[in-house]
């Protein structure tokens, strides 16, 4: 699974063939197909694994950076500056495979919902907290895409920081 995760995230699910995953993982074809009879099952398993891994990192990063909404930008800055950063695995996979494998949309919705819940937990108790968290989720998705194609993530992070400031102090 780790080999498939790394290859799918780095190169995309469509561009990564099963033969390459088998070769790089060092398992036999028989063993591989016993666990994953189809590439679609492997893609779903990859996204489920990625979700657990990313959410664990995200909630830990938010805690490290202050446990409130201002923690979003430095936490995401860690990720955007990582040399392995290649954007959101869920956005990328939906773009690649939604037409052929609609289940990836479901998995991505669930992932984004959990991300929004984590963000909502950072907000003060206000009547529109979930709505604010959804707005921030959309802003984060935009920042992720921007950081993915810019050579430097600072503009994406700066824009996100301005959105966070506007939401917490709308004056």
Q: Where are the domains of the chain?
A: 40-168
**Stretch 133-158: mean pLDDT, rounded?**
95
Neighbours of 155 (CB within 10 A): 12
pLDDT average, residue stretch 23-28: 94
| Fold adopted by 40-168 | Tetracycline Repressor; domain 2 (1.10.357)
Count CB-CB contacts under 10 A for residue 75.
21
Span 2-21, average pLDDT: 95
Q: pTM value?
A: 0.92
């Amino acid at each position: 699974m780790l080999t498939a995760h790394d290859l799918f995230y780095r190169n995309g699910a469509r561009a990564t063939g099963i033969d390459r995953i088998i070769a790089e993982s060092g398992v036999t074809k028989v063993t591989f197909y016993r666990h994953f009879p189809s590439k679609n099952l492997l893609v779903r398993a990859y996204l489920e694994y990625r979700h657990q891994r990313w959410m664990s990192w995200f909630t830990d990063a938010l805690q490290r950076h202050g446990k409130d909404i201002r923690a979003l930008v430095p936490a995401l800055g860690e990720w955007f500056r990582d040399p392995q950063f290649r954007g959101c695995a869920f956005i990328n996979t939906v773009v690649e495979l939604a037409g052929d494998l609609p289940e990836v949309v479901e998995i991505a919705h669930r992932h984004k919902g959990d991300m929004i819940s984590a963000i909502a937990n950072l907000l003060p108790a206000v009547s529109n907290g979930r709505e604010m968290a959804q707005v921030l989720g959309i802003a984060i998705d935009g920042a992720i895409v921007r950081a993915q194609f810019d050579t430097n993530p600072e503009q994406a992070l700066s824009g996100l920081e301005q959105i966070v400031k506007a939401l917490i102090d709308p004056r």
